[in-house]
């Protein structure tokens, strides 16, 4: 397998001075090119000994405040983030030959925002979020399905509330790198780092 990256380039003037503007621009390109998978990203966290773990999650919003995803606060990632509130996010948009790497501190989003998003989800997804002890060992698939059915029997679906164990995190970036695949492995890498409140742009060797 030997692929050449020929489709795009990332000049300094295209990168501009604002990583959020560039991210928004690339994200819209990704939505156009890969559709509903554009918001799939790899989330990396670390445990108390610094051992990393990574998994895919969905980006559900971004702004200058940060990049938001939703999950179970008591899951493995939730436990790791309460011990070490730092994470890395990695996007790869295959058709565009682009990667974005983001690192930063993490924080739970305000409960109000988690409630709003929870309430906007389909009822079946909400029930699953309530009944699934994400990342814990469970006896069987049947046990999980039984949990779901028992919950529906015992509760009023219309009165369903966000459980305290489920909500959003924001990754508040201090470093955002844009990678554009180029010919002969001479890729473009533009790095933005937060320096006393201002974003500084630099170019890295591929």
Ligand X SMILES: Cc1cc2nc3c(=O)[nH]c(=O)nc-3n(C[C@H](O)[C@H](O)[C@H](O)COP(=O)(O)O)c2cc1C
Contacting residues toward ligand X, per CB under 6 A: 40, 53, 55-58, 69-72, 75-77, 134-135
Nearest residue (CB) to ligand X, 14 versus 135: 135
Residue in 196, 81, 126, 79 with CA at minimum distance from that of residue 89: 81
Is residue 70 within 8 Å of residue 114, measured between CB atoms? Answer: yes
Nearest residue (CB) to ligand X, 12 versus 47: 47
Q: Give me the least distance between CB of 25 and ligand X, in Å please.
A: 23
Q: What is the C-alpha to C-alpha distance for residues 15 and 9, in angstroms, rounded to an integer?
A: 10
Q: Give me the least distance between CB of 54 and ligand X, in Å please.
A: 8
Q: Which of 185, 189, 201, 203 is catalytic?
A: 185
Work out the burial of residue 178: count CB atoms within 10 Å of its CB; fewer than 13 is exposed, 13-18 middle, 19 or more buried: buried
Nearest residue (CB) to ligand X, 46 versus 58: 58
Q: Are strands 166-180 and 98-108 parallel, antiparallel or unpaired?
A: antiparallel
Q: What is the C-alpha to C-alpha distance for residues 139 and 134, in angstroms, rounded to an integer?
A: 13
Asked if 185 is an active-site residue, the reply is yes
Q: Give me the least distance between CB of 160 and ligand X, in Å please.
A: 18
Active-site residue list:
185
């Amino acid at each position: 397998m030997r692929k050449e990256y020929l489709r795009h380039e990332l000049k300094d003037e295209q990168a501009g001075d604002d990583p959020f503007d560039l991210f928004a621009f690339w994200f819209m390109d990704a939505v156009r090119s890969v559709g509903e998978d554009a918001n799939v990203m790899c989330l990396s966290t670390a445990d108390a000994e610094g051992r990393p773990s990574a998994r895919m999650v969905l980006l559900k919003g971004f702004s200058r405040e940060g990049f938001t995803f939703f999950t179970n606060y008591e899951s493995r990632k939730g436990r790791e983030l309460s011990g070490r509130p730092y994470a890395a996010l990695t996007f790869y948009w295959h058709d565009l030959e682009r990667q974005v790497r983001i690192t930063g501190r993490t924080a739970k989003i305000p409960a109000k925002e988690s409630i709003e998003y929870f309430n906007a989800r389909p009822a079946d997804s909400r029930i699953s979020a309530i009944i699934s002890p994400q990342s814990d060992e469970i006896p069987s698939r049947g046990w999980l399905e039984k949990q779901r059915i028992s919950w529906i029997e015992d509760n009023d679906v219309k009165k369903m509330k966000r459980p305290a164990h489920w909500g959003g995190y924001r990754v508040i970036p201090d470093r955002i790198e844009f990678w554009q695949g180029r010919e002969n492995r001479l890729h473009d890498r533009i790095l933005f780092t937060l320096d006393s409140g201002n974003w500084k742009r630099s170019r890295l060797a591929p």
